[in-house]
C-alpha cells in the first residue's frame, strides 16, 4: 500500500464520509442503540465499537486506521498526548515486581514515568548498548524500551538486531519512532513489537495539537485499549483526530522539505569552529550513518549540536542571540525552534542520558535554509571564548 495514498485517501472515500472533502468530525460524546442487547455487545467490544468518547469515535478511528497502515501494523490506538500513549503502553506490559530495560537515551518524561512506577514495584535499568544488556537483564525483566535515533544525542541502533535480541530473551520491545515518522522508518517491519509516536510533532505538523499513538499487533493493542486506555482517560478528541488527518495529508511533502532544510543547516554547522559536534544521522560523519541509511528512507530535521563551551551562561547567550529560531520545547512544526537541555532538563535526567552542558537541540522548520543559516552564524560569533 502506497504511503502517500494512505496519508491522503485511505478511508476518506467510504460512504459514511458522504463525499465531504474533509472527513466529518463526530462531536457527540456517546452513541445510542436500538436494543439493550446491542448496547451490551458493543460495551464488551468497546475497543472497536462506538459507545462513548472515552473509548473511540469515527473520526479518531479513521486517524488510527491511517497510522496503523503507515506503520504496517494491525491496529493503532490514539491518545490525548504522547505521554498518554507511552505510559499506557508501558503499564499494559508490566506488573508489580517486573523490570524494564531501557536502551540508550530516551525522552526525558519517559524516564520520569519509569521512576514514578518504582512506587508500584516496577524497576528499570538504563544501558548504553547491547553489550551490557545481558548483564542488566533480570529474571523479572519483561520489556525493552528504546528510541532510534535516540533522545537528544540522536544515536542510531540496528533496529532489527535490537528487536531480535529482545525476542530471543523473551522481552517485548517498544520503540519511540517519533523522530522519523512512519514515512522514513518502519520498526514493526524490522521485528519491533510496539511503536509509539507523539502526534504533536511532525505528524500533526502545525504545533496546534497534542496527541500520541501506539501501533502494533492486535494481541497487544486490544488489551491495552480495553484497560489502560479506558482507565487512564487519556482519550484523543475528535477535533484533534481531525487535525491528525489533515496533518497526514501534507506529511510526505513536509517531510521532504524538512529533510532538505535540516541537512543544509547541519552541513553548515558541521564546518563551524564554534561547534564541536553535530548529531545528525543524515551526515556521513555521524557514527550511525551507515545503519541509518540501511533502515531509514529519509531523515527528519531534528538534531543536536555541541557548542565549544562548558558555560551554561554562554549556552543561554547563544539562544538569546537567535532572532529567527524561537526558544521553546517540542518540534516538528513550520517554525524553527531551539532548546538547551542544560537550561531546562532535570539535572538527574540529563546525567542519566549523558547530555553535556553545551548540547543544543535544533528543530529546523520550513523557513528558507539560508535565513536559518545566517541566524545561526550570527549567534555563534564568539562562542567558545569562555571555554
**Rounded-to-integer distance, Cα 276 and Cα 152, Å:** 15
Would you give the DSSP letter of residue 52?
Answer: B
Whether 54 is catalytic is: yes
Question: Residue 51 and residue 57: Cα distance in Å, rounded?
Answer: 8
Cell numbers of 138, please? 533480570
- Alpha helix ranges (H) inside the chain: 3-8, 36-44, 58-71, 82-93, 108-116, 133-136, 159-168, 181-184, 218-226, 228-232, 238-270, 289-295, 312-321, 341-344, 347-353, 369-380
Q: Position of cell 448496547?
A: 39
CB 322 within 8 A of CB 363: no
The one catalytic residue among 50, 107, 145, 202: 107
Each residue's pLDDT expressed in tens, for the chain with a length of 387 residues = 799 999 999 999 888 888 889 999 999 999 999 999 999 999 998 888 999 878 889 999 999 999 999 999 999 999 999 999 999 999 999 999 999 999 999 998 999 999 999 999 999 999 999 999 999 999 999 999 999 999 999 999 999 999 999 999 999 999 999 999 999 999 999 999 999 999 999 999 999 999 999 999 999 999 999 999 989 989 999 999 999 999 999 999 999 999 999 999 999 999 999 999 999 999 999 999 999 999 999 999 999 999 999 888 999 999 999 999 999 999 999 999 999 988 876 666 666 667 788 999 999 999 999 999 999 999 999 887 644
User: Do 85 and 214 touch, CB atoms closer than 8 A?
Assistant: yes
* pLDDT for position 208: 96
Q: What Å distances lie between residue 306 and 273, 341, 342, CA to CA?
A: 11, 11, 11
Examine the residue annotation and report whether 65 is marked as an active-site residue of this protein. Answer: no
Catalytic-role residue among 54, 115, 167, 267: 54
Q: Identify the three-state secondary structure at position 367.
A: coil
Which candidate in 75, 77, 201, 350 is catalytic?
Answer: 201
Gap between the Cα atoms of 22 and 18, Å rounded: 10
Query: Strand, helix or coil at 359?
Result: strand
- pLDDT value at residue 353: 65
What does the pLDDT read at residue 386? 42
Separation of first and last alpha carbons in the chain: 53
Polymer length in residues for the chain? 387
The answer to whether the beta carbons of residues 154 and 182 sit under 8 Å apart is no
pLDDT of residue 356: 86
Instruction: Check if the beta carbon of residue 124 is closer than 8 Å to that of residue 114.
Output: yes
Q: What is the pLDDT of residue 349?
A: 63
- CA neighbours within 13 Å on the CB side: how many for 118? 8
Residue found under cell 488489551: 223
What is d(CA 100, CA 86) in angstroms, rounded to the nearest whole number? 13
Catalytic residue among 47, 61, 98, 176: 176
Q: What are phi and psi of 113, to 5 degrees?
A: -65, -40
Looking at residue 53, what DSSP letter applies? T
Q: Are 77 and 221 in contact (CB under 8 A)?
A: yes
What is the phi/psi pair of residue 286, to 5°?
Answer: -70, 135
Known catalytic residue at 13: no
- CB burial of residue 34 (10 Å; 0-12, 13-18, 19+): exposed
Q: Are 120 and 96 in contact (CB under 8 A)?
A: yes
Q: Which candidate, 350, 295, 332, 348, places its Cα nearest to that of 206?
A: 332
Q: Is the pTM of this model over 0.75?
A: yes
Q: Specify the pLDDT at position 387.
A: 41
The alpha-carbon radius of gyration of the chain (Å, integer) is: 21
Instruction: Quote the pLDDT of residue 17.
Output: 87
Amino acid at each position: 500500500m502506497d504511503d502517500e495514498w494512505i496519508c491522503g485517501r485511505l478511508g476518506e472515500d467510504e460512504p459514511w464520509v458522504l463525499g465531504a472533502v474533509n472527513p466529518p468530525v463526530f462531536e457527540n460524546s456517546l452513541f445510542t442503540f436500538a436494543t439493550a442487547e446491542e448496547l451490551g455487545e458493543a460495551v464488551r467490544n468497546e475497543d472497536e465499537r462506538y459507545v462513548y468518547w472515552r473509548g473511540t469515535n469515527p473520526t479518531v478511528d479513521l486517524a488510527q486506521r491511517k497510522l496503523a497502515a503507515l506503520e504496517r501494523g494491525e491496529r493503532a490506538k490514539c491518545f490525548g498526548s504522547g505521554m498518554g500513549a507511552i505510559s499506557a503502553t508501558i503499564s499494559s506490559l508490566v506488573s508489580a515486581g517486573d523490570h524494564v530495560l531501557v536502551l540508550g537515551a530516551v525522552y526525558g518524561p519517559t524516564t520520569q514515568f519509569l521512576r514514578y512506577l518504582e512506587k508500584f514495584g516496577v524497576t528499570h535499568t538504563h544501558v548504553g548498548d547491547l553489550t551490557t544488556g545481558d548483564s542488566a537483564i533480570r529474571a523479572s525483566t519483561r520489556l525493552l524500551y528504546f528510541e532510534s535515533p535516540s533522545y537528544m544525542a540522536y544515536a542510531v541502533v540496528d533496529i532489527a538486531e535490537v528487536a531480535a535480541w529482545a525476542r530471543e530473551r523473551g522481552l517485548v520491545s517498544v520503540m519511540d519512532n517519533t523522530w522519523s515518522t512512519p514515512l522514513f522508518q518502519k520498526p514493526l517491519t524490522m521485528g519491533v513489537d510496539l511503536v509509539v509516536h507523539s502526534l504533536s510533532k511532525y505528524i500533526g505538523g502545525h504545533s496546534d495539537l497534542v496527541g500520541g499513538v501506539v501501533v502494533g499487533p492486535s494481541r497487544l493493542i486490544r488489551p491495552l485499549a480495553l484497560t489502560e486506555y479506558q482507565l487512564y482517560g487519556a482519550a484523543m478528541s475528535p477535533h484533534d483526530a481531525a487535525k491528525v488527518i489533515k496533518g497526514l495529508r501534507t506529511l510526505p511533502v513536509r517531510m521532504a522539505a524538512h529533510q532538505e532544510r535540516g541537512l543544509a543547516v547541519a552541513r553548515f554547522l558541521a564546518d563551524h569552529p564554534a561547534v564541536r559536534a553535530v548529531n545528525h544521522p543524515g551526515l556521513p560523519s555521524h557514527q550511525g550513518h551507515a545503519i541509518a541509511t540501511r533502515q531509514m528512507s529519509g531523515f527528519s530535521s531534528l538534531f543536536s549540536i555541541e557548542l565549544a563551551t562548558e558555560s551554561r551562561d554562554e549556552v543561554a547567550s547563544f539562544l538569546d542571540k537567535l532572532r529567527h529560531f524561537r526558544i521553546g520545547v517540542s518540534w516538528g512544526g513550520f517554525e524553527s525552534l531551539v532548546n538547551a537541555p542544560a537550561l531546562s532538563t532535570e539535572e538527574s535526567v540529563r546525567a542519566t542520558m549523558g547530555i553535556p552542558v553545551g548540547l543544543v537541540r535544533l528543530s529546523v522548520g520550513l523557513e528558507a535554509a539560508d535565513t536559518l543559516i545566517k541566524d545561526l552564524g550570527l549567534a555563534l560569533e564568539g562562542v567558545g571564548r569562555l571555554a
